[in-house]
Structure 1
Amino acid sequence: MIKINLLPKERIRRVAVAPRILVGLVAVVVVAGLVLATLYLNVQNALVRAEVVQVSARIDELRPQVAEVEALQRQINEARRKEQLLRQIQAMRIPWERVMNELRKILPTDVWLIHIEAKGDGTLTFNGFGLSYESVARFMVNLNGSPVFQNADVVIAQKQDIGKLAVINFSVTAQLAPPGKAAALP
């Protein structure tokens, strides 16, 4: 017998692919994808490990240089600390020659000093005797007018008898003027 298909082409039934073959094909594709993904990840892992080894080797090469740089940094810090200490010592240094020369010029004839004390901040304390309160005041005014001293102030001034002579025992403080004050005055 002859089979004639009178249905249009669109309606012709297709032969169904066996579901087992389709499931098997999907399984093969999934397994192949997993194998390829595993291979790709293994290659990436190997590349990362190789890079880690290279970086570790480079770190080992640089360790001595890093230690040397750290040692140099410590030396630089120590040198800076010493320089700062020297600057502080230099700033605290009192120019005694300048102080004594200026005192020789400004000390009234009826005032004499028995003790001079200097502190690290540039404060000088003058202890002595004067024949009158006016002499002590003149000494303080002369200190303030001097290019070497500033901020002179009487701490104490009291009358005292030395033998038969009445004198004024005094203590005056003053600050050393910055070096620029002497240059600024004509």
Structure 2
Amino acid sequence: MIRINLLPKEIEKKAAVKERIILAGIAGVLVLLIFFGIWFLKFAQVKKLEKEVRKLDSELKKIEDKAKKVDEVERNKKILSERLKVINSLLASRLDYPKLMETITRPDILPPRVWITGMSTKTSSDKIEITFQVQALDNYAIADFLTNLDKSRRFENVELSAITTTKVEDTPVRTFSIKCFYKPERGKNA
């Protein structure tokens, strides 16, 4: 079929320009729709992430509160553990001094011609440092006492100080001090 155009070229150009404007408008609207669609998706993602961050922050706060409670429990546990060590130490050493006195007064340790006039002690974790103030009737009694202390497995590092002689009711008495360490017997059968 043959086409005959009776319209002037100016009208045809105007129609073509009009079509281009409409196409450009449609393209612009499409670009704007795509832009706003992407913006809306990003906005929705940001809101979703903000909501997730708030949720994680609240969970973190709960976890921090629990961590504080755990730290407090750990501190209390440590304090109680230290107290338990002290109690166990006291229980383990509660019989040290009675056993020390029993050991010192046994005849195989303290000879009959020797008597203790004073005693001072200093306790460490496994030993008791003792300083005895002692009087004896003769040098043989002093030697027997020192020998007995040395032979005993409970006493170590026995040191004798200077001996002085005084008279008590016309009897010469030797006065001296002995420094040594006492190893207490500890354990279930102690």
Q: TM-score range by the shorter chain?
A: 0.5 to 0.7
For 2:150, the equivalent position in structure 1 comes to: 144
Aligned residue for 2:161, secondary structure, equals strand
Change (3 A) 1:34 1:92: farther
> What amino acid sits opposite 1:116 in the alignment?
M
Q: Distance in 1 between matches of 2:149 and 2:110?
A: 9
Q: Of the candidates 107, 110, 123, which is equivalent to residue 107 of structure 1? A: 110
Q: Of the candidates 115, 129, 138, which is equivalent to residue 135 of structure 2? A: 129
Report the Cα offset of residue 70 of structure 1: 3.5
Matched, 1:173 2:161: no
Q: Distance in 2 between matches of 1:155 and 1:43?
A: 93
> What amino acid sits opposite 2:149 in the alignment?
L
Superposition map of 1:15-94 within 5 A: 38=39, 41-62=42-63, 65-90=66-91, 93=94
TM-score normalized by structure 2? 0.65
Deviations 1:139-183 (A, max 9, x none): 112112113222211133222222311111011122112527xx9
* Aligned residues with identical type, % of pairs: 19
Report the Cα offset of residue 119 of structure 1: 1.4
Q: Distance in 1 between matches of 2:42 and 2:159?
A: 86
Deviations 1:111-161 (A, max 9, x none): 111112221221112112112223212211211211322221113322222
Equivalent residue pairs, number: 159
Aligned residue for 1:156, secondary structure, equals coil
Report the Cα offset of residue 62 of structure 1: 4.1
Higher relative contact order structure (alpha carbons within 8 Å, sequence separation ≥ 6): 2
Aligned residue for 2:162, secondary structure, equals strand
Superposition map of 1:2-21 within 5 A: none
Q: Distance in 1 between matches of 2:100 and 2:131?
A: 12
Q: Distance in 1 between matches of 2:85 and 2:162?
A: 37
TM-score normalized by structure 1? 0.66
> What's the RMSD between the two structures over aligned residues?
3.5
Structure 1: tracts of 5 or more residues without a match? 1-23
Matched, 1:120 2:126: no
Q: Distance in 1 between matches of 2:162 and 2:47?
A: 88
